[in-house]
Chains A and B, each alone.
Chain A
């Protein structure tokens, strides 16, 4: 019995050690970046494996100087906020209509749902050039809206999937009761349905926000004015601008990375739970 217990203890320790090992391995790139960021460029080039000689903030100073942080963040926030609002409004009303309203033709209802989630399977990359042509037709080129509309459109399928999945999972009794009390449709949505949707709403919002924040291919194709460049585009330009100043490059990367990690720290619960909820329901 004691033998078995000891075996159990050993196994537990081995598995714990393995978990820690995997976690640390995943963290290595971040740790490595932080170390590099305090080194001089020659140190990075010639003896990358050494520890920094002195903790110099020089790299951060250059990075702040080169990166147009204010305009990058301003542009990204403008695009993110409008995309978010637009996308949430249209997908919420759409999902509400698909789940709460009654249809004589069930096939139409199902067909619409499948139509709207079919976008999950379309890689956005193949649409880059056609979307640009559409913006030309609609005379939107060079405006924020030329990016906002396609970004919102590419989140539709995911949002519909999440909203419909969630709304199907709880009964509409509360809403029915509200209607009997004489509640109008807009009021019903705002006062009853949305509060009920809060968990999935947070998750969807966080996911959409992350998507827009991290998006690159659409932005780089649709935005030509340097004054409208977003964070992702700023990052992609790093290499051209720094050329061989690796120190500045690393520091710049970390400057962009840090706010994201903080954001993750705050919302990680929603993210992780949201994935769980979304995945289990398929």
Chain B
């Protein structure tokens, strides 16, 4: 390859991707920070106002609601999806007729556009016309919880929808991890008389540590991307009680035309992501070292 490795070739081959990435990803991040220090309202010129937006942000109750909801979704998703997907992958890993079909059916929600997912779940969760409350009524139950649009339940339901979207996807990743574990290990354990729980505990789980980290990170970064579902289900309402960081940023920026303020929320969201990015690199390094492949 050395023949081609002159400067000119490198520039020709690398410049397009670097330019595109810089113009539409890197520079916008810098711009988001710049606008977060202004009072831009969309019309006229932006004025620099220092940290005013951030000071307001930390006094803004809705911001804390959004933070809390994002936290609820994050925590619940980790608790539900990681063990759930692992369990499902164990089920799918058994020799059983039709488990290929089961796998692709479980995976299918992942390919649907998130905006359609939100719409679909309206018909499940809507307190008046939704499936769940209809089923409750049919079963003679008097309580008709406000799954969406009430004061409490929306973020929990968003986490469940996220579970629905990603369970099969993450199970597939687990499945790949499990299948990569050398067979001989299991055979040796069987000879030693280990039962299935022990095999799981002492072989499978340690061997797929890296996969677990990957799934965790996919779930975490995925949670910060949830937007369309909330947008379709409640649009952050009633009175911002179901707002997440992303939806509140969208509301502040585009619905209220407070571009500066919205960008300060965006900057905070970016910092959260950056923290997780650092954690990711840290974990990934440790794992590669630990596995000593």
> What distance in Å separates the Cβ of B151 from its nearest Cβ neighbour in chain A?
22
Q: Which residues from chain B contact A152 at a C-beta distance below 8 Å?
A: 20, 24
Chain B residues numbered 208-263 whose CB sits less than 8 Å from any CB in chain A: 210-211, 214, 221, 224-225, 227-228, 231-232, 246, 249-250, 253-254, 259, 262-263
Q: A19-B99, A101-B10, A121-B276 are in contact. Are A154 and B232 (CB under 8 A)?
A: no
Judged by DSSP, the binding face of B is: helix
Q: A23-B106, A44-B129, A253-B116 are in contact. Are A18 and B224 (CB under 8 A)?
A: no
> What distance in Å separates the Cβ of A246 from its nearest Cβ neighbour in chain B?
6
| A214 and B25 contact, CB distance less than 8 A | no
| B91 and A156 contact, CB distance less than 8 A | no
- Contact flags B185-225 to A (C-beta < 8 A → 1, else 0): 00000000000000000000000001100100000010011
Q: Which of B129, B175, B263: most chain A Cβ within 10 A?
A: B129
Would you call B47 an interface residue if the criterion is a C-beta within 8 Å of the partner chain's C-beta atoms? Answer: no
| A90 and B20 contact, CB distance less than 8 A | yes
Q: A93-B13, A123-B269 are in contact. Are A102 and B2 (CB under 8 A)?
A: yes
| B24 and A154 contact, CB distance less than 8 A | yes
In angstroms, Cα B249 to Cα A129, docked, is 11
Q: A32-B131, A214-B113, A235-B115 are in contact. Are A94 and B124 (CB under 8 A)?
A: no
Would you call B55 an interface residue if the criterion is a C-beta within 8 Å of the partner chain's C-beta atoms? Answer: no
- Contact flags A67-101 to B (C-beta < 8 A → 1, else 0): 00000000000000000001001110110111011
Q: Which residues from chain A contact B269 at a C-beta distance below 8 Å?
A: 123, 125-126
Q: Which of B13, B32, B169, B173: most chain A Cβ within 10 A?
A: B13
| Nearest B residue to A114, CB-CB | B281
| B263 and A260 contact, CB distance less than 8 A | no
| B5 and A103 contact, CB distance less than 8 A | yes
In angstroms, Cα B24 to Cα A119, docked, is 11
Chain B residues numbered 70-111 whose CB sits less than 8 Å from any CB in chain A: 88, 91-92, 94, 96, 99, 102-109, 111
Interface residue count on the B side (C-beta < 8 Å) = 95
| Nearest B residue to A138, CB-CB | B23
| B96 and A126 contact, CB distance less than 8 A | no
Judged by DSSP, the binding face of A is: helix
Q: Which residues from chain A contact B232 at a C-beta distance below 8 Å?
A: 236, 239
Would you call A268 an interface residue if the criterion is a C-beta within 8 Å of the partner chain's C-beta atoms? Answer: yes
| Nearest A residue to B36, CB-CB | A126
Q: Which residues from chain A contact B228 at a C-beta distance below 8 Å?
A: 216-217
> What distance in Å separates the Cβ of A154 from its nearest Cβ neighbour in chain B?
7
Q: Which residues from chain A contact B35 at a C-beta distance below 8 Å?
A: 129-130
7 contacts between A and B (CB under 8 A): A26-B167, A49-B131, A93-B14, A116-B17, A129-B263, A130-B31, A215-B113
Give 16 A-B pairs besides A93-B16, A121-B221, A156-B25 with Cβ atoms closer than 8 angstroms.
A12-B96, A22-B88, A45-B128, A90-B17, A102-B1, A123-B225, A126-B266, A130-B32, A154-B25, A215-B113, A216-B113, A232-B113, A261-B108, A263-B111, A279-B173, A280-B176
Q: Which 6 A-B pairs have the closest CB atoms?
A: A214-B113, A153-B24, A126-B266, A130-B28, A94-B17, A276-B176
